Amino acid sequence: MLTVLLLLWPVAAALLLHFFKGRAARVPALGAALVEFALAAYAALTFNANNSGQFSFNLNWIPSAGIHFAVGMDGLSLLLVLLTAVLVPVILLSAFRRNFENESVFYALVLFMQTGLVGVFTAQDAFLFYFMWEVALIPIYFLAGVWGGVNRARVTFKFFLYTIIGSLFMLAGFVYLYFQTGPTADGLSAHNSALASFYALNLPADTQMWVFWLIFAAFAVKMPIFPFHTWQPDTYTEAPAPATMLLSGIMLKMGIYGCMRWLLPVVPMGVDYWQNLILILAIIGIIYGAIIAIRQQDVKRLIAYSSLSHVGLMIAGVFSLTQMGLQGASIQMLAHGVNVVGMFFIADAIERRTGTRNIADLGGLTRKAPVLTVCFLVLLLGTVALPLTNGFVGEFLLLGGVYQFNHWMGAVAGVTIILGAVYLLRMFQRVMLGPDSSFTETFTDLTGSELALLVPLIVLVFWIGLFPNTFLHLSEGSVMNILNEVVKR
């Protein structure tokens, strides 16, 4: 029941938000997001890490087709629900910095999207999963499209087409699998779409080979993996900062989570067959993203490409099919979400003050804004994966997983840390150090409320870095379950 509450509360709040106009919507929107956070925190506190699915709820949604509104959380779902619940208030707070037109609609869409995200992370039925997958897409399309930059119409159009075409392939795959399942318990339908029934399918290897691509298409676009990434940098750049945070902080985790929950255990033989190819693509993405990031002049684009590179490593970890790799991906999803949202917020703070995101136009911010510098540095070191920060735990485990699978791939993937340091420190150096520019002469430091927004993120950077077991402990059971399903056949 708690899961249903987590699902319905944001959308209910989004509807209620229509009674508030303009700035008056800020407090209720933030309040709603904090209530959601409290619910998620309560779920985390009462969660029993030794049991698998909890807080389950099952309703016969379309009886004639055997489709159920089945939700529930295991450790992995819980981690991502927590991530969503932590980041949405932060993202809303960051939106208050800007004066958007029709603010109440903006916040309503963010909350609406939260329902979709929580739904994706908790769905236990294939069609519910697909449904929520698209529910998360519609609000972000409008967030990026209505409030975005000059090229927003073209860029978001591309984004929408890419993702929806990818997810239609996934739907086709699900429909195919659905017709391989047995009847429902009540006998009303000849087939059902429960996650457990998909796990229990024993499809022949050659079928799994092509079903793999149908399902993977949606995740590949969403994460995105090279070469399906071309929508990403443009969309990240054109979307308003809060939408970019939603996209990079939470939405791309839908793809990685999807792989872990809906791909590996469902078509294990297909995964086995394509494993090498996916790992190679992921590693190409790591290197490619990093090299392009080095050449970027736009802070937002640089972070976008860095994100591409980091996601590549997570994909590689997942497809290494090792416990280390999957655990690394789980914790790195949290870490990356925290870091990238923080980084985009700082990029946005700089842009609001100077009116530019161009690295060449910036410089010397350290002297004007020491607090901002410290925050930026912490988040940046977290992204670079310095020991004691959150990035280190994740990347260490991920690289360990890839290394276990194949030494050479592990070695090449390890380059990500070096290249990451190169482009991030280079950006830090040019933006924060060096002489002032005409843009940065009147630069002011972070305000109290901006700091209040960054503090939870920074706390998380160290918390995950110093006590990763709080989180690893949660996901361990689910990761083992997933791997058992994979190995079983």
Nearer to other proteins, 164 or 291 (CB): 164
Q: What does the block give as tokens for 467?
A: 């006590």
* Contact residue for other proteins among 10, 72, 145, 270 (CB under 8 A): 145
- Window contacting other proteins (CB under 8 A); options: 153-161, 261-269, 302-310, 455-463: 153-161
Query: Cβ of residue 122: shortest distance to other proteins, in angstroms?
Result: 16
* Contact residue for other proteins among 8, 41, 165, 433 (CB under 8 A): 165
Residues 63-82 that bind other proteins (CB under 8 A): 63-65
Query: Cβ of residue 74: shortest distance to other proteins, in angstroms?
Result: 24
CA–CA distance, 484 with 462 (Å, rounded to integer): 32
Beta partners for residue 54, in sequence order: 73
178 counts as binding other proteins under rule CB under 8 A: yes
176 counts as binding other proteins under rule CB under 8 A: yes
Q: What does the block give as tokens for 340?
A: 């990238």
Query: Closest Cα to residue 146, out of 189, 89, 102?
Result: 102
Query: Cβ of residue 161: shortest distance to other proteins, in angstroms?
Result: 6
8 counts as binding other proteins under rule CB under 8 A: no
157 counts as binding other proteins under rule CB under 8 A: yes
Count, residues near other proteins per rule CB under 8 A: 31
- Window contacting other proteins (CB under 8 A); options: 61-69, 306-314, 352-360, 406-414: 61-69
Nearer to other proteins, 152 or 229 (CB): 152
Query: Cβ of residue 10: shortest distance to other proteins, in angstroms?
Result: 15
Transcribe 23-45 into DSSP letters: GGGHHHHHHHHHHHHHHHHHHHH
Query: Cβ of residue 88: shortest distance to other proteins, in angstroms?
Result: 20
Residue 438 exposed, middle or buried by CB count within 10 Å (0-12, 13-18, 19+): exposed
161 counts as binding other proteins under rule CB under 8 A: yes
In 99-251, which ranges are continuous DSSP H helix? 103-122, 126-147, 152-178, 195-200, 205-222, 232-238, 241-245
Structure-token match 């090792």, residue found: 322
Measure Cα distances from 218 to 106, 134, 156 in Å. Answer: 26, 11, 17
| Range 9-29 burial, b when 16+ CB lie within 10 A, else e | bbbebbeebeebeeeebbebb
Amino acid at 332: Q
162 counts as binding other proteins under rule CB under 8 A: no
Nearer to other proteins, 168 or 374 (CB): 168
Nearer to other proteins, 214 or 412 (CB): 214
Query: Cβ of residue 71: shortest distance to other proteins, in angstroms?
Result: 15
Query: Closest Cα to residue 464, out of 340, 332, 326?
Result: 332
Query: Cβ of residue 157: shortest distance to other proteins, in angstroms?
Result: 6
Q: What does the block give as tokens for 350?
A: 């700089």
Amino acid at 273: Y
Residues 120-139 that bind other proteins (CB under 8 A): 127, 130-131, 133-135, 138
CA–CA distance, 463 with 221 (Å, rounded to integer): 31
Both ends of the chain: CA-CA distance in Å? 34
Nearer to other proteins, 11 or 372 (CB): 11
Whether the CB-CB separation of 87 and 1 falls below 8 Å is answered with: no
47 counts as binding other proteins under rule CB under 8 A: no
Nearer to other proteins, 170 or 338 (CB): 170
Query: Cβ of residue 169: shortest distance to other proteins, in angstroms?
Result: 8
* Contact residue for other proteins among 57, 61, 439, 462 (CB under 8 A): 61
Residue 59 exposed, middle or buried by CB count within 10 Å (0-12, 13-18, 19+): exposed
Query: Cβ of residue 19: shortest distance to other proteins, in angstroms?
Result: 15
Whether the CB-CB separation of 379 and 297 falls below 8 Å is answered with: no
Beta partners for residue 70, in sequence order: 58
Query: Which spans of this chain sit near other proteins (rule: CB under 8 A)?
Result: 60-65, 127, 130-131, 133-135, 138, 142, 145-146, 152-153, 156-157, 160-161, 164-165, 168, 171-172, 175-176, 178-179
